Chain A
Amino acid sequence: MNTSIVKKMISQSVSVILLLCLFYVQANAMAQQQVLVTIENLQVTETDLEMALRSSPFYTQFNTMDEKQQASLRGDILKRLVISRLFKLEAEASDLEQSSEFKKEMEDFRYGLLYREYMDNLRNSIQLPDDVRKKMRAQYKGSHDAYAAAKASYISTQYRSLYEMALIKLRDKYHVKVYEDRVSKTTKPKTIVFEADGGIKVTMQDVFDPDKEGDLTKDQILERIFQRGELLVVARAAEEDGMDVSERVNAYKNERLPALWIEKKQQQWTQDEEVLKKYYTEHPELSLIPQRWHLGMIVLKTEAEAKFIMQRIKKGESLFKLAGQYSIDAYGKAHNGDIGWVRENSGNPKIENAIKDLENGKPSKIIKIEKGYIIATIIDRRPGGKRQYISMKDKVRQFVINEQMHKYLMDLEKQYKITWNLLGSQEGKINS
């Protein structure tokens, strides 16, 4: 069967199925944990879909959409979530998760979360005393913005001193040692430059890469050491205080792993320049720059009217002036027959054929179209051409990725068991 027909069929079936699914899901909005799709041992629930939707940049627009548009958008996001789960399965089956870079990224993310949680707790512990609040309220009566600014300033000042006190406390508690004398641009990468109780260590390679950052000063390197050390010590304190960020780390991992995986696949697909050049050669239509015409046009209802107007034009009257008076095309009439720039192969083929070889400024023959009878003219033209490979390499790369992605998703659909929990027994598809 023709590939485009298959694609079309898949596309149509997906739209219908997802719409059905989403109407069903909306009807069951209360069942937040409802599993919409299972992909092997992974799931996409209603909550996952809702969270993805809420964190999308178009969420504000989503609420303004009609029900059908909303369902279609939800369907699209659901499809993306399923694809993301498939990539996760693929990534897990590879060694990506075990790579030292990935492990380090996850660990750093965990430290970051713990640090933030610790500092947030510190900030949240600051209460505006009642007497201060009353005083501020009285002082800024009627001006909430001024009150809010004063309150924020008070909390900020309190937080600064709390933060400094907390760091001093932690420094003493964990017996922090900074080896400033060991720091120089030639220090060996594994040299320990910061140490604290509980096995906390910062080495030179954690904060400085001499190959990439040779122009850093000693003070800048020291600043990084202090920052890294502070991060590790505060994260340790947060853990000892019972703060648990494992759920958020897992959520991040579930998002990051598929993203890294597909990044890796895309590099694989396009790293060979010859592949890109071959695609460019095999798809000449991509590099084609169409001829463009600045078109003038008058549209008339009957052939007799068209003939009459043609005579007037040939006698020297302006097509544009006549279009402004008599054209039945509302846009053309409003713009005195100036239709603007049109590209080759983008409009009515009958009109294009009639104007293709027309001399600039001359009227065309009368062209019959569904709407009526047209007399056209070319005001100006820009010739077509061909874009060179080098000037459209990124575009070619994107086309190769799209083509490979399509094939890859088809394979994944066959390889993994995907169950769509939809109305009826239809099967969903992701690759449309």
Chain B
Amino acid sequence: MLVVAEFIKKNLFSIFIFLMAISIVNNTIAESENIKNAWELPTFNLKGLDGKNHTLKEWYGKVILLNFWASWCAPCQYEIRDLTQYQEKLADKGFQVVSLGFDKEQKLRNIHRSLEINYPVLIMEPSNPRTQAIMKQWGNPQNMIPHNVVIDKNGEIKYIHRGQLDEEIFNDYIMPLL
């Protein structure tokens, strides 16, 4: 017991951080588990790079990958290249990426042009007071990006992923829905 006590004493700070991390992850998971169906969530209405306002319901009936990203995030940019390819290949099967970009419109436009994004990009200006609420609604109260939400054709939220999507995740969680 003495050894355990000594260990705790020496590593008090690390243990605290570890417990905090577990708590944060658990909270996040709890948030996301509460969400069952996308159509039951408060709808968002955001301006897209096409100049029009959009709500998620426009893509009702499709398998939606809701992708949260920012222009300054390198993993997001890598992910965008993959998502663009998936969108091109799988659009006929009812797959639709809908992305929410956190940044000023011009920067998002530049990324859209540079990476030749072929799916809708909705603008979440940093000054938008609803940004935090929207992120929280979609299982991401910590505002981590990239963040991805997979919604099936019935609106059921099938999977939430924090971090960059890879091929294996795509094959495991999205392909079976198409």
Asked if A335 lies at the interface with its beta carbon under 8 angstroms from chain B, I say: no
Contact A70 B161 (CB under 8 A): no
Asked if B74 lies at the interface with its beta carbon under 8 angstroms from chain A, I say: yes
- A61 CB contacts on chain B under 8 angstroms: 72
Contact B71 A63 (CB under 8 A): yes
- 1/0 contact trace for A41-74 toward B, CB 8 Å? 0000000000000000000111111110010000
Contact B172 A137 (CB under 8 A): yes
Asked if B77 lies at the interface with its beta carbon under 8 angstroms from chain A, I say: yes
Asked if B107 lies at the interface with its beta carbon under 8 angstroms from chain A, I say: yes
- 1/0 contact trace for B107-121 toward A, CB 8 Å? 100110111000000
**CB < 8 Å: which of A65, A137, A142, A144 contacts B110?**
A65
Q: Which interface class (under 10, 10 to 19, 20 to 34, 35 or more) fits B?
A: 20 to 34
* CB within 8 Å: A-B pair count: 32
- A60 CB contacts on chain B under 8 angstroms: 72-74, 77
Contact B71 A64 (CB under 8 A): yes
- 1/0 contact trace for A131-147 toward B, CB 8 Å? 00000010000111100
Expressed in whole angstroms, the minimum distance between the Cβ of A138 and any Cβ of chain B is 12
Q: Contacts A142-B159, A144-B161 hold; do A63 and B111 have CB atoms under 8 A apart?
A: yes
Asked if B169 lies at the interface with its beta carbon under 8 angstroms from chain A, I say: yes
- A145 CB contacts on chain B under 8 angstroms: 162-163
Q: Contacts A144-B161, A144-B169 hold; do A70 and B74 have CB atoms under 8 A apart?
A: no
- A67 CB contacts on chain B under 8 angstroms: 113
Smallest Cβ-Cβ distance to A60: which chain B residue: B74
Contact A63 B114 (CB under 8 A): yes
Count contacts on A: residues with CB < 8 A to the other chain.
14
Contact B74 A62 (CB under 8 A): no
Smallest Cβ-Cβ distance to B108: which chain A residue: A64
Give Cα A64 to B71, complex, Å.
Answer: 7
- B163 CB contacts on chain A under 8 angstroms: 145
- B73 CB contacts on chain A under 8 angstroms: 60
List residues 64-87 of chain B with CB under 8 A from any CB of chain A.
71-74, 77
Give Cα A64 to B111, complex, Å.
Answer: 5
- A137 CB contacts on chain B under 8 angstroms: 172
Give Cα A66 to B159, complex, Å.
Answer: 36
Contact A63 B110 (CB under 8 A): yes
- 1/0 contact trace for B99-110 toward A, CB 8 Å? 000010011001
Contact A63 B77 (CB under 8 A): yes
Give Cα A63 to B108, complex, Å.
Answer: 9
- 1/0 contact trace for B47-73 toward A, CB 8 Å? 000000000000000000000000111
Give Cα A60 to B73, complex, Å.
Answer: 7
Q: Contacts A142-B159, A144-B161 hold; do A64 and B172 have CB atoms under 8 A apart?
A: no
Give Cα A67 to B172, complex, Å.
Answer: 38
Give Cα A61 to B71, complex, Å.
Answer: 8
Expressed in whole angstroms, the minimum distance between the Cβ of B24 and any Cβ of chain A is 13
Expressed in whole angstroms, the minimum distance between the Cβ of A296 and any Cβ of chain B is 33
Smallest Cβ-Cβ distance to B29: which chain A residue: A143
Smallest Cβ-Cβ distance to B71: which chain A residue: A64
**CB < 8 Å: which of B110, B115, B162 contacts A66?**
B110
Known: A63-B114, A64-B71, A67-B113. 15 other contacts (CB 8 A): A60-B72, A60-B73, A60-B74, A63-B77, A63-B110, A64-B72, A64-B103, A64-B110, A64-B114, A66-B106, A66-B110, A70-B114, A142-B159, A144-B161, A144-B169
Q: What residues make up the interface of A, taking CB atoms closer than 8 Å to B?
A: 60-67, 70, 137, 142-145
Please list the 6 inter-chain residue pairs (A to B) with the smallest Cβ-Cβ separation, ordered nearest first: A63-B114, A60-B74, A64-B107, A64-B71, A64-B110, A63-B111
Can you spell out 7 A-B residue pairs with CB atoms less than 8 angstroms apart? Answer: A60-B74, A62-B114, A63-B77, A64-B103, A64-B111, A65-B114, A144-B161
